[in-house]
Amino acid sequence: MSSETGRSSGIASRISGAAGRAGGAALDRLTTVTGPINRVLQPLANVYNRLIGGYFGEMNGLQFVLVVGTLVGLLTAPFWGNYALIQAMIAASIWAILAMGWDIQSGYTGYISFGHSVLSGGAGYTTAMLIHNVNPELPMLVTIPVSVLAALGIGLLIALPSLRLSGPYFSLITFVAVLIFYRMMNPLSEYTGGETGLAGVEKIFDITEPVQSYYLFLLPMLAVAVALLIVARSNIGLILLAIRENESAVEAAGINATKFKIWSFMLSSIPMGIGGVLLAHRFGGVDPGSFIVVDNSIEMIAMAVVGGMGSILGPLGGAFFIILMEDIVLHAFGLDAQLRWAILWIIVLLILVFARQGLFRKLWYGLERLGGDRR
Amino acid sequence: MANEDNNNRNLGRNGKSSLGRRTFLGAAGAGAVTTTLAGCLGGVGGDDDDGIFKIGHLAPTGMAMGVGSERSAEIAVDEVGKVRDQEIELISENTETDPGGTSEIVERMIVEDNVDLLVGTFSSEVTQRITGTIADEDVPFIITGSADQSTMANTTGDDYEHNKNIFRTGPINSELQAEAMADYAEFLSDEHGWNTFGHLSEEAAWTKSFQELLPDELRSRGFDVPYDDTVSLSTDNYTSILDDLESEGVDAVLRFFASGGQGKLLKPWITNRYPFAVEGTHVASMNPEFWGQTEGICQYETTAQSGGGGVTDITDKTMDFVETYQDEYGDDGAPTKPMYMGFNTYDAIHFYSEVAEEAGTINYNDDLDDIVEAMHSVEYTGAAAEISLYGEDSDYPNDAKETRTDGKISNYPVTQWQPNEDDEGGHQELVYPAANSSGDHIAPPWM
Amino acid sequence: MLDQILSVLLLGAVVSAIYALVAIGFTMIFGVGGVLNLAHGGLIMFGAYAYVVLTSSSVVGAIAVPPAAGFVIAVIATALASYALYAGLVRYIEDNVVITFLSTVMVALLLTNLIHYRFGANPQGTPSVLSGSLHLEGFGTRIGYMYILGFVLSWITIGLLWYYVTQTDEGRSILATSMSERGAQLTGVNLLSVKSRTWLIAGAFAGIAGVILGTVEPTTPQMWLNPLANAFIIVVIGGIGSIKGSVVAAYLIGYLQQFTTEFIGQGYVGIPSLIVLVAVLLLLPEGLYGREFAHE
């Protein structure tokens, strides 16, 4: 089995190598224009670099503009977007949390988990089941922490037995975890609502006040992004990356890799729990098809990979990209639902093949190159 | 990196100018934001009364059932013409049987499109997910696809005041259907002398009533029910089920499939000529193209369906509607007839136009009680059945009432696929209730 | 009681035979290239629909070949489609496990959406190559001739494959590659040729399974989900890359499911398989006949 770190081989690498060089040459020519722009913006970026660059990594001027611009855009979206866009961005915020949560574990350690939908689904279902079976009046202050704890608990349950196994077997166990949870829905349908799920969860999205509601989803997402970035840039993140590259070396250095693998799973369970809770509160209920099914895990993975695995911000971008494509862009053409999905999958496939490092990583490195003036 | 760019020297001394630059950029940014404020969210929660009566139609239009419903809605809108002197606009969206996506569609319909009426939904998950929002906003919603009894039990049956804008004009709910199925079993017994029945339901919310009520109903009428089971949606091989049914000696199996079945039962049943009849409800079989699609393996199976498949008149409006549908859409592909949801949607829209006249208003924000009262007082003869709704204090508030003839439920027609006389293809016959039937119920000839 | 056991034995055999067909293709690709080919399910669907298009005049009016010919052509078409999938896509990305896996998922989804668009979600009837059934009065059960055909074909193809893989040089190079890619290369095996042949064979198996499944059950765009899930479980239990393992595990799972259906109840069909799967993963991760997951 060839290396898993993404080095191309054979014809693929020759083609993409050639394309890369051609593209690179074009970028270099552009630097006569963009270089100066970058130099103009660099001081701004340097203020940031001095202040908090140590936590998040440093940026050049163009990258700084990208980040700030996106941030401004996200924060002001209700003022320039229409209703459908706000709905899509709320959905994207929730999925971004899920994709980032997946990334800190799978993207960083390289242990690909298909079972993350169980974590978010577990949290969502905990909320709904508490409301349905225990007390419909339970305040969110109670249900939310309990649900996130439930996600942690499920995460521990899955992680402990499986992380001592190597790559593909770990992935298989996580896949089976989803199947098992799904199968449990119907026999326990009195508590779980079977395949129609449960309703009655308080909706935090007020349909006549979309602006306020929007921030209830965006801000947690940004908080999760910041928190995960800090973790990813810290020593823990380094160790996780090292595990992905060469686990034996990590062990040889005296670090207990399994402990850190479990840590990463625990760490990722928290945003998964938050995401699951937000999803349940968005529409006021849960059902297996929207929460548990393995399709959801695959969607998270696709978002993370499209954006750029192992970078936290990549999956964030990937989530927004896919959801906005799905809900806004493709709808504009008025096609049959099946064709819309087919086109979306083709786009994702093209990205997977030709930009396997992820769209946003490519963008990031592209901006770095456009900044000219290398170190 | 200390010297990563050559501007290090400038940072200290040019602080002022960089501040200046920053201020400039900040001002430019603010300017950009303010100019785009011009394109702000206009119309959110805006004008309720725009002079047009808007109907939001929700159905899985990727499936034949949803397409039939959409077309029927359009026919109804054409025929009704105006409601309270307002032009009608139909806004139809594909639910894709996705609860989350449909929730977003409903939100947009209420807030952006200002719909005055919502009609449709086929899948129980979708219905359950959207009733919360709809109840919050008081928009009248008439369910025309899912028959699950718990949909109303969890809404109007639980908190009537909050959910009183949710109605169902057809099909009759699953508990009533269970009783109607037992009536049908008596009919089969009268016709063919069958007294032993099996019950097989797919694992789904809508079959819960059949699972809980049907076997006992049948036994209370003197029938034997030696086989009673559910089957998961992922089962592919039905041979052992068929073997069991045969060994229990059933005369007919009452099976209930919506997503399941789909011929997985029929293929081995007809290839191996199991000696019993296949009765009950099978949504796939309602499709007028089913015979052609399955190359005739559906012969002799029956299914209950609202509107009786458009085979013959159930009311004096049935065939008129079917003919209009075929004139309009006969060449546009499947389905060539409205299917049960189409009948119910068509009737629901006509029903509501009568309600609007009776209530004298369509303004649900201010006059919801008038509208609800009219929904209860209006009795309307639709293309599928005579429609009237249960009141607030009944077992099934706001749900469609069953009609009874001689104590038996009669708005529950059953059709059977029978081979054509020339042996080329097949057609549906309405076999029950006898008063409306177009043909006799035929037992499979190999029994 | 006796006839229940007998019916389980018989039905279990024919059902397992079809599972084996699907699992073998899956495990070969996984074993040889390390590729988790989730489009394999899509190939099953492709085979079934190819058969429908070829034999049923209701779809493409001009074509209507007799079922037996349609069967053969559909299988060849599926094998070629599988090869095209490898040569046109997977070959360029197979070094990265995640990308390959996701890409095959995308292909499977793409195929499903396109077929749904073209044919609709409703089941397509398919003319049987052999219609009718064998009624075994004594055993209280009936077995459709297509099931019997599937059983026979399954064993014939497995036998042919076994011969090919163990007795011919070409076939042995496939086994060699699945054991150690580098080792195979060092002994002069042309990797590209081996992998292409593997995908071709796997595609043929998927095609056969697709046509048989499409005949005994209705053909819909979702028809491949269950067979693929079962194949997945079977391959893990049997051991990745092991043909013998797939066959043994297929019969294990097939019989387990029939047994559950007959004696425990319809609703619990999937559960014992999952329990066995979890047990195997925790206790014997390489599966019954698998090799240790070896790094390069």
Separation of alpha carbons C39 and C101, rounded Å:
9
pLDDT digits (tens, 9 = 90+) for A336-356: 888 888 888 899 999 988 888
Of B1, B10, B132, the CB nearest to A375: B1
The pLDDT, as a whole number, for residue B10 is 37
- Test B128 with A199 for CB contact under 8 angstroms: yes
Confidence of residue B259 (pLDDT cuts 50, 70, 90): confident
pLDDT digits (tens, 9 = 90+) for B69-101: 999 999 999 999 999 899 999 999 999 888 989
The pLDDT, as a whole number, for residue C133 is 59
C230: in domain:
yes
pLDDT averaged over every residue in chain B:
84
Q: Which residue of C has its CA nearest to B240?
A: C262
- List, as ranges, residues 289-308 from A with C-beta within 8 Å of B: 289-290
Of C116, C124, C216, the CB nearest to B293: C124
Q: Identify which of B119, B70, B120, B128 has the alpha carbon closest to the alpha carbon of residue B99.
A: B128
DSSP letter at B171 equals S
Specify whether B300 is located in the same domain as B413: yes
Query: A337 or B348: which carries more pLDDT confidence?
Result: B348
Asked if A195 is an interface residue toward chain B (Cβ–Cβ < 8 A), one would say yes
Separation of alpha carbons C101 and C90, rounded Å:
9
Separation of alpha carbons C206 and C183, rounded Å:
29
The pLDDT, as a whole number, for residue B446 is 86
The pLDDT, as a whole number, for residue B5 is 42
- Test B64 with C123 for CB contact under 8 angstroms: no
Q: Which residue of A has its CA nearest to C294?
A: A1
- Test A336 with C117 for CB contact under 8 angstroms: yes
Asked if B290 is an interface residue toward chain C (Cβ–Cβ < 8 A), one would say yes
Asked if C103 is an interface residue toward chain A (Cβ–Cβ < 8 A), one would say yes
| A348 close to A302: Cβ distance less than 8 angstroms | yes
DSSP letter at C87 equals I
Asked if C272 is an interface residue toward chain B (Cβ–Cβ < 8 A), one would say no
Which domain range does residue C184 map to?
2-133+142-283
ipTM of the complex: 0.86
B441: in domain:
no
CA B405, B410, B416, B420 dihedral sign is positive
Confidence of residue B113 (pLDDT cuts 50, 70, 90): very high
Task: For tokens 């899912």, name the residue.
Answer: B146
Provide, as residue numbers in chain A, all residues whose Cβ is less than 8 Å from the Cβ of B108: 83-84, 87
- Taking residue A21's Cβ as centre, other Cβ atoms within 10 Å add up to 10
As a whole number, mean pLDDT of residues B261-288 equals: 85
| C77 close to C203: Cβ distance less than 8 angstroms | no
Of B4, B96, B125, the CB nearest to A195: B125
As a whole number, mean pLDDT of residues B20-34 equals: 37
C-alpha distances in Å from residue A197, one per residue of A201, A277, B126, B129, B207: 11, 15, 10, 9, 15
Q: Does residue B161 sit in helix, strand or coil?
A: helix
**DSSP strand pairing (B82-83 vs B86-94):** antiparallel
B124: in domain:
yes
How many contacts does A have with C, using Cβ atoms within 8 A?
120
Separation of alpha carbons C172 and C25, rounded Å:
16
Specify whether B209 is located in the same domain as B119: no
The pLDDT, as a whole number, for residue B89 is 95
| B36 close to A79: Cβ distance less than 8 angstroms | yes
Answer whether CATH 1.10.10 is correct for domain A10-370.
no
| C260 close to C272: Cβ distance less than 8 angstroms | yes
Per the structure block, which two tokens stand in for A67? Answer: 């980040």
| B58 close to B345: Cβ distance less than 8 angstroms | no
Task: For tokens 């990031």, name the residue.
Answer: A364
Separation of alpha carbons B230 and B212, rounded Å:
11
The continuous run of DSSP H or E covering B404 comes out as strand B404-405
Q: How many domains does chain C have?
A: 1
10 Å CB burial of residue B59 (0-12, 13-18, 19+) is buried
Query: A91 or B273: which carries more pLDDT confidence?
Result: A91
Q: Does residue B37 register a pLDDT over 80?
A: no
Confidence of residue B181 (pLDDT cuts 50, 70, 90): very high
C-alpha distances in Å from residue C136, one per residue of B252, B390, C3: 22, 53, 10
Provide, as residue numbers in chain B, all residues whose Cβ is less than 8 Å from the Cβ of A83: 41, 44, 107-108, 111-112
User: Distance from CA of residue B39 to its chain's centroid?
Assistant: 39
Asked if C277 is an interface residue toward chain A (Cβ–Cβ < 8 A), one would say yes
Per the structure block, which two tokens stand in for A146? Answer: 């309990």
Q: Does residue A298 register a pLDDT over 60?
A: yes
C295: in domain:
no
Provide, as residue numbers in chain A, all residues whose Cβ is less than 8 Å from the Cβ of B136: 203, 207
- Test B287 with C122 for CB contact under 8 angstroms: yes
Phi, psi angles (nearest 5°) of residue A372: 65, -155
B442: in domain:
no
The pLDDT, as a whole number, for residue A11 is 58
Q: Looking at this protein, which amino acid is placed at residue C239? A: G
Residues shown for chain C: 296
How many contacts does B have with C, using Cβ atoms within 8 A?
105
Tell me the range of A175-184, B121-130, C254-263 where mean pLDDT is highest.
B121-130
The pLDDT, as a whole number, for residue C204 is 93
Q: Does residue B29 register a pLDDT over 50?
A: no
Per the structure block, which two tokens stand in for A22? Answer: 């051609």
CA angle B346, B352, B354 (to 5 degrees): 110
C219: in domain:
yes
Provide, as residue numbers in chain A, all residues whose Cβ is less than 8 Å from the Cβ of C97: 1, 4, 112, 167-168
Of C95, C110, C281, the CB nearest to A172: C281
Separation of alpha carbons A38 and A44, rounded Å:
10
Q: Identify which of B183, B251, B252 has the alpha carbon closest to the alpha carbon of residue B218.
A: B183
C-alpha distances in Å from residue A212, one per residue of A11, A94, A216, B45: 52, 16, 7, 14
User: Distance from CA of residue B184 to its chain's centroid?
Assistant: 22
- List, as ranges, residues 120-179 from A with C-beta within 8 Å of B: none
Confidence of residue B21 (pLDDT cuts 50, 70, 90): very low
Per the structure block, which two tokens stand in for B288? Answer: 């007028």
Provide, as residue numbers in chain C, all residues whose Cβ is less than 8 Å from the Cβ of A10: 91-92
Asked if B29 is an interface residue toward chain A (Cβ–Cβ < 8 A), one would say yes
Specify whether B337 is located in the same domain as B368: yes
- Test B237 with C132 for CB contact under 8 angstroms: no
pLDDT averaged over every residue in chain A:
84
The pLDDT, as a whole number, for residue C122 is 72
User: Distance from CA of residue A89 to its chain's centroid?
Assistant: 14
Please tell me the least confidently modeled range out of A48-57, B220-229, C121-130, C159-168.
C121-130
Residues of chain C with pLDDT under 70: 57-64, 125-142, 266-267, 291-296
pLDDT digits (tens, 9 = 90+) for A95-137: 999 999 999 999 999 888 988 999 999 999 999 999 888 888 8
Which domain range does residue B423 map to?
175-308+407-436
As a whole number, mean pLDDT of residues B264-280 equals: 86
Provide, as residue numbers in chain A, all residues whose Cβ is less than 8 Å from the Cβ of B37: 79-80
CA angle B65, B71, B74 (to 5 degrees): 145
C98: in domain:
yes
The pLDDT, as a whole number, for residue A227 is 93
The pLDDT, as a whole number, for residue A370 is 79
B15: in domain:
no
Specify whether B260 is located in the same domain as B385: no
Q: Which residue of A has its CA nearest to C286?
A: A169
Q: Identify which of C112, C43, C48 has the alpha carbon closest to the alpha carbon of residue C81.
A: C43
pLDDT digits (tens, 9 = 90+) for A232-246: 988 899 999 999 888
Separation of alpha carbons A292 and A125, rounded Å:
9
Provide, as residue numbers in chain C, all residues whose Cβ is less than 8 Å from the Cβ of B247: 3, 140
Separation of alpha carbons A344 and C106, rounded Å:
9
Against chain B, the chains showing at least 3 CB pairs within 8 Å are A, C
Best residue of C129, C261, C271, C273 to probe chain B, by most B CBs closer than 10 Å: C261
Specify whether B161 is located in the same domain as B298: no
Q: Does residue B313 register a pLDDT over 50?
A: yes
- Test A287 with B99 for CB contact under 8 angstroms: yes
The pLDDT, as a whole number, for residue A13 is 61
Query: A189 or B401: which carries more pLDDT confidence?
Result: B401
Specify whether B186 is located in the same domain as B247: yes
CATH of the domain at C85: 1.10.3470
pLDDT digits (tens, 9 = 90+) for B46-70: 345 678 999 999 999 988 899 999 9
The pLDDT, as a whole number, for residue A66 is 85
Q: What percent of chain A has pLDDT over 90?
A: 31
Domain ranges in chain A are: 10-370
User: Distance from CA of residue C247 to its chain's centroid?
Assistant: 11
Q: Does residue A15 register a pLDDT over 70?
A: no
Q: How many domains does chain B have?
A: 2
C150: in domain:
yes
The continuous run of DSSP H or E covering B303 comes out as strand B302-304
B221: in domain:
yes
The continuous run of DSSP H or E covering B231 comes out as strand B224-231
Q: Does residue B198 register a pLDDT over 50?
A: yes
- Test A207 with B107 for CB contact under 8 angstroms: yes
Specify whether B361 is located in the same domain as B270: no
- Taking residue C160's Cβ as centre, other Cβ atoms within 10 Å add up to 12
Please tell me the least confidently modeled range out of A19-33, B142-156, B238-252.
A19-33
Q: Does residue B34 register a pLDDT over 60?
A: no
10 Å CB burial of residue A135 (0-12, 13-18, 19+) is exposed
Which strands sit side by side in the sheet containing B302-304, from one edge to the other?
B302-304, B414-419, B426-432
C296: in domain:
no
Q: Does residue B9 register a pLDDT over 60?
A: no
- Which residues have CB under 8 Å from A195's CB, separation 6+? A185, A186, A189, A287, A288, A289, B125, B203, B204, B205
As a whole number, mean pLDDT of residues B396-401 equals: 93
Separation of alpha carbons A261 and A243, rounded Å:
8
Q: Does residue A164 register a pLDDT over 90?
A: no
Separation of alpha carbons A197 and B131, rounded Å:
13
Angle, helices A313-324 vs A294-307, to 10°: value is 110
Q: Does residue B14 register a pLDDT over 60?
A: no
Q: Read off the pTM.
A: 0.85
| B92 close to B366: Cβ distance less than 8 angstroms | no
Of C125, C265, C266, the CB nearest to B294: C125
The pLDDT, as a whole number, for residue C61 is 59
Q: Does residue B17 register a pLDDT over 50?
A: no
Q: Identify which of A49, A22, A132, A8 has the alpha carbon closest to the alpha carbon of residue A375.
A: A49
Best residue of C2, C53, C148, C216 to probe chain B, by most B CBs closer than 10 Å: C216
CA angle B377, B382, B388 (to 5 degrees): 25
The pLDDT, as a whole number, for residue C129 is 64
The pLDDT, as a whole number, for residue C5 is 80
CATH of the domain at B414: 3.40.50.2300
| B385 close to B411: Cβ distance less than 8 angstroms | yes
pLDDT digits (tens, 9 = 90+) for A237-279: 999 999 988 888 998 999 888 889 999 999 999 999 999 999 9
As a whole number, mean pLDDT of residues B103-117 equals: 93
As a whole number, mean pLDDT of residues B32-51 equals: 43
The pLDDT, as a whole number, for residue B205 is 79
